[in-house]
Each structure stands twice: as C-alpha cells, then as structure tokens.
C-alpha cells in the first residue's frame, strides 16, 4: 500500500509570494493532519480534517494560511503571502479515523524556504 | 494542557552500546504515549506506543520504552545501538479521547552513533 504522498519535496520562494503544498493520504484514511515542524523542534498541529470537514484549525494562522480537502481525500495547504518565518517543514499525516490511538502515518514532508 | 519535555537535545553513543532517551510528559491523567523516529529528509515513523496495561512496551527495530507513572516518564531504550539508528527521536503525548486527534510532540533528541 502506498504511504502518505506529499509534493513538492522542496520549495524555495521569495517572501510575499504564494505557495501551495499537496497531500494524498493513505486510501481509506478519514482523518488528515497538517503539521508544521520548525528547525530543531517537534511538529505542531496546524489543522485536522475529518473527511472534508476541518474540525480543528485553532493553530492555523488564518490571515495567510488556508487549507482544503475536497471530496475528503487529497488536501492542499496554501500560504499567501509567505513570510520569512514560514520557513519550515510541512508534514501531512493521516489515520483511519480520529483519535490518537489509531496512530499517524506521516508523509516525507515539504521543506519550505522563504528568502 | 498536555506537554512533552525531552531533556537531551543531542546524544552520542558508540555502536553496540546501550541507549536511553528521556521523555517527561505533563498530563492530568494517563495519556497515550508514543515514540517516533525521523531520519534526515523523511517523515516521522512510529516506533512504539503505550495506551494501557504492561508498562514495558516493545516496538520496532529492537526498541522498547517503559512508562513510569510516578515519574511522568516514558523513556526509550535499546540494548545495542546500530549505526543505522542515527536519527532524530520524538516523544509525543495524546489525550485518550476519541474526539481529540491531536498529539503534542517534544522538541526531539538527535542521536549520533560513533563507529
């Protein structure tokens, strides 16, 4: 079975430009997470989806970040405009359903560098 | 609120030596506890998890962890380290609530293995 697929793997953009990340979760996984991992830190949750519904986006900076999960499968995370402080690794993870007991499967992440 | 502390930012051990990575958590009750490993440029891979029952849990790649409620700790151990174990290790805590899919991660411990 294919794992969680993310693209692109790397992205370098100038500040104030827009950027988008894509995630394809494991087939049949209803719950999808976007995490941000700053250098030298652990991942921090940005948003959690149950199917196509965003059920926890309290940590998402909504002035510049947006996300969608159309049809409850693939998801896109967008930043517009990007700031220098957005440089980080953006990780997507999925699980069969909500609840930490089900465990996450992480993708390889997208490393964003804003210059 | 739940939190995780990994006191050691960086640990170096010789190949074949034993390993212990420390993790302390803060949570009002017994949480779900996890250890993940992240190799350079990769996403996080689950090593093991503790939900309840036997406080010594076995994971993949020869790792084990012991839950000690009195010390609010969940330390990761391996009797004999291999060069391929060099990576970053993250401890995570989650609320045992089916409506809460969020895990909180520590800032990680980087393991270097000397030949």
Mean pLDDT of chain A: 92
Give residue B106's pLDDT band: very low, low, confident or very high (50, 70, 90).
Answer: very high
- Stretch among A20-34, B29-43, B53-67, B97-111 having the lowest mean pLDDT: B97-111
How far is it, in rounded angstroms, from Cα A4 to Cα A95?
Answer: 10
pLDDT tier for residue B2 given thresholds of 50, 70 and 90:
confident
Closest Cα partner for B74 from B21, B15, B113, B27? B21
Query: For residue B99, is it left (φ>0), alpha (ψ between -120 and 50) or beta?
Result: alpha
The confidence score (pLDDT) of residue B95 equals: 75
**B26 by DSSP, 3-state: which?**
strand
Distance from CA of B101 to the nearest CA of A (A): 4
Q: With cut-offs at 50, 70 and 90, classify the pLDDT of residue B92.
A: very high
Query: Residue A102 pLDDT more than 80?
Result: no
Does any CB of chain A come closer than 8 Å to the CB of residue B52?
no
> What's the mean pLDDT in B95-103?
66
Residue-wise pLDDT tens digits, A24-64: 999 989 999 999 999 989 999 999 998 999 988 888 999 99
CA-closest candidate to residue B90, choices B109, B65, B69: B109
Question: Is the C-alpha dihedral spanning B68, B105, B46, A33 positive or negative?
Answer: positive
CB contact (8 A) between residue A31 and residue B99: no
Residues 6 or more apart whose CB falls under 8 angstroms from that of A91 comprise: A6, A34, A35, A36, A37, A43, A106, A107, A109, B43, B44
Spell out which residues of chain B touch residue A44, defining contact as CB-CB under 8 Å: 105
CA atoms within 13 A on the CB side of A84: 1
B77 touches chain A (CB under 8 A): no
Residues of chain A neighbouring B44 (CB-CB closer than 8 A): 43, 91, 93, 104, 106
SS3 per-residue string spanning B50-112: ECCCCCEEECHHHCEEEEEHHHCEEEEEECCCCHHHCEEEEEEEECCCCCCCCEEECCCEEEE
| B12: confidence class by pLDDT, cuts 50, 70, 90 | very high
Q: Does B92 contact chain A (CB < 8 Å)?
A: yes
Residue B30, pLDDT above cutoff 90? no
Residues of B in Cβ contact (< 8 Å) with A7: none
**Phi, then psi, of B60 in degrees rounded to 5:** -85, 165
3-class secondary structure, B21: strand
Query: Looking at the partner chain, which of B42, B51, B92 has a beta carbon nearest the beta carbon of A108?
Result: B42
Phi/psi at B69 (5° precision): -60, -40
- Is the pLDDT reported for residue A84 higher than 80? yes
């Amino acid at each position: 079975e294919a794992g969680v697929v993310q693209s692109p793997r790397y992205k370098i953009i100038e500040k104030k430009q827009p950027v988008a990340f894509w995630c394809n979760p494991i087939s049949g996984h209803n719950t999808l997470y976007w995490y941000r991992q700053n250098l030298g830190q652990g991942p921090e949750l940005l948003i959690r989806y149950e199917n196509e519904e965003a059920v926890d986006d309290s940590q998402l900076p909504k002035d510049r970040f947006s996300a969608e999960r159309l049809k409850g499968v693939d998801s896109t995370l967008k930043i517009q405009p990007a700031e220098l402080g957005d440089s980080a690794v953006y990780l997507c993870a999925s699980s069969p359903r909500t609840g930490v007991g089900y465990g996450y499967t992480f993708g390889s992440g997208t490393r964003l560098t804003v210059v | 609120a739940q939190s995780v502390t990994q006191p050691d930012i960086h640990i170096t051990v010789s190949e074949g030596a034993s390993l212990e990575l420390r993790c302390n958590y803060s949570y009002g009750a017994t949480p779900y506890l996890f250890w993940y490993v992240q190799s350079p440029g990769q996403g996080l891979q689950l090593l093991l998890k503790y939900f309840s029952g036997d406080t010594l849990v076995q994971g993949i790649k020869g790792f084990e962890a012991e839950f000690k409620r009195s010390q609010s700790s969940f330390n990761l151990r391996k009797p004999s380290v291999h060069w391929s174990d060099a990576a970053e290790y993250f401890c995570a805590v989650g609320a045992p609530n089916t409506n809460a899919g969020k895990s909180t991660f520590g800032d990680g411990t980087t393991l270097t293995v000397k030949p």
